[in-house]
Amino acid sequence: MSDKTILIVGTYDTKDDELNYMAERINSQGGGVLTMDVSVLGDPSAPCDYSKHDVAGAADNSIQAAIESGDENTAMQIMARGASTLAARLFADGNFDGVVILGGTMGTDLALDVCQALPMGVPKYVVSTVSFSPIIPPERLSADIQMILWAGGLYGLNSVCKASLSQAAGAVLGAARAVEPPSDDRPIVGMTSLGSSCLKYMKLLKPALEQRGFEVAIFHATGMGGMAYESLAAQGKFCCVMDFALPELGNLLAGSVINGGSQRMLNAGRAGIPQIIAPGCFDLIDFAGWQDIPERYRDRPFHEHNRLIKSSALNAEERRESAREVAARLTQSTTPAHFIMPLQGIEEWDKEGDVAHDPEGLAAFTDEVRKVMKAPIGYSEVDAHINDAAFADKALEIFDTWVADGTVTAK
């Protein structure tokens, strides 16, 4: 008897040998296998557990329609929709414990959709010819996806590609055995922040919320952290969010790749999750260390934080623009949203005498916030710095009021 079952997804008409090799490696380690064929034109050497017809049917379509579309992209999008729907259904029914998907660019495009359709905590491995490539936008990545380069295996098995395939097979089975999925024992508060040298409120808020019976998940707002946060918010995993670090949104507006995706600050409101928001580090702009600085930002000094990130500050008008964008996104919320403005600063280095101190910029931002944070958005000002206890106290005051009136549900 196998202890865990792995779903293997791929185009069995062209990658039959590679997919069967991974199945053999999983079986050799005591794991079970389910197979899903996402081919369009050809057929596997032996029947799969879920055929290409099953996959197309799950997309309310057919293989014949995919073929008759006359376009490989259209055809594979049909298969991507079907594979995602079918995989989500099979997992919900308890049929498998992890998934591994093999592909080139076509297969990877499909794989990204399948992984996003599965809950966080389900081991997801993609063996791809474009693993870690910049052609994959961050917003296509599920929060806990794992990838390995399919090296040297574009056509047929060899010792080089077996190294990648066998690692993926062992990794997904091992992950399925070891994973401890997120628990629903306590309601979860989702929080965004940066490192505690810059933003410190989490040190006060986390223990206080835990004492109230809530779990706190804190996301590092450097792009991928925001993507994970938004992914879980879209799934309704939080009872409330404290979105207190917003540089990913400013970076999005500035054209930096260090952003949380186009849906940043939208998913919680759409999912009916109450939001408490503050502008932590919203004065900074971050670019990837390798990224060319857009022309409009080249008139200001940049600090190279490390070889991965370089930072500078938004000017007064850019800060006004960012305030307007926050308000525009919060007005789309279907549940209460409350913005807290700390009047004495929004990150550790903007205190008097520090490198990011910009009283004129902060004044411009505050002025714009006062103009745009109108009903139905709640609004509070705190005559304190975002890292002061008074800020954390205000956040807890709003949170406790929402718990008392049932806006936040304590399960």
**Is 265 found in the same domain as 130?**
no
CA distance 409 to 411: 6
What pLDDT sits at residue 411? 65
List the domain range (segments joined by +) for residue 79: 5-178
* 298 CB-contact burial (10 Å; exposed 0-12 / middle 13-18 / buried 19+): exposed
Question: Is 98 in contact with 175 (CB distance < 8 Å)?
Answer: yes
**Is 400 found in the same domain as 282?**
yes
Can you point out the beta strands (E) in 65-187? 98-103, 124-128, 145-149
Can you point out the beta strands (E) in 38-118? 98-103
**Is 215 found in the same domain as 268?**
yes
Place of tokens 């714009």: 368
CA distance 100 to 282: 38
In the chain, the number of structural domains is 2
Place of tokens 């079918």: 86
**Is 324 found in the same domain as 356?**
yes
Peptide bond into 376 cis (omega under 30): yes
Q: State the chain's maximal CA–CA distance in angstroms.
A: 71
pLDDT under 50 in the chain at which residues?
1
| Amino acid symbol at 84 | S
Q: What is the CATH number of the domain that holds 216?
A: 3.40.50.12030
Give the number of C-alpha atoms closer than 13 A to the C-alpha of residue 159, restricted to the C-beta side. 0
* 71 CB-contact burial (10 Å; exposed 0-12 / middle 13-18 / buried 19+): exposed
**Is 138 found in the same domain as 255?**
no
Residue 183 lies inside a defined structural domain of this protein:
no
**Is 227 found in the same domain as 131?**
no
Please report, for residues 258, 314, 343, 370, the alpha-carbon distance to residue 351 in angstroms, rounded to integers and kept in the order given.
25, 16, 11, 21
- Of 178, 208, 226, the residue at which a domain comes to its end is 178
Please report, for residues 200, 265, 279, 312, the alpha-carbon distance to residue 196 in angstroms, rounded to integers and kept in the order given.
5, 22, 16, 19
What pLDDT sits at residue 152? 84
Q: Which residue in 250, 262, 252, 264 sits closest to 219, CA to CA?
A: 264
- Of 159, 178, 197, the residue at which a domain comes to its end is 178
**Is 192 found in the same domain as 57?**
no
What pLDDT sits at residue 367? 98
**Is 204 found in the same domain as 163?**
no
What pLDDT sits at residue 2? 63
**Is 311 found in the same domain as 171?**
no
Run of H or E including 312: strand 309-313
pTM comes to 0.85
Q: Positive or negative CA dihedral for 188, 190, 195, 196?
A: negative
**Is 372 found in the same domain as 238?**
yes
CA dihedral 289, 294, 297, 301 (to 10 degrees): 30
- Of 133, 151, 178, the residue at which a domain comes to its end is 178
State in Å, rounded, how far the first CA of the chain is from the last one: 37
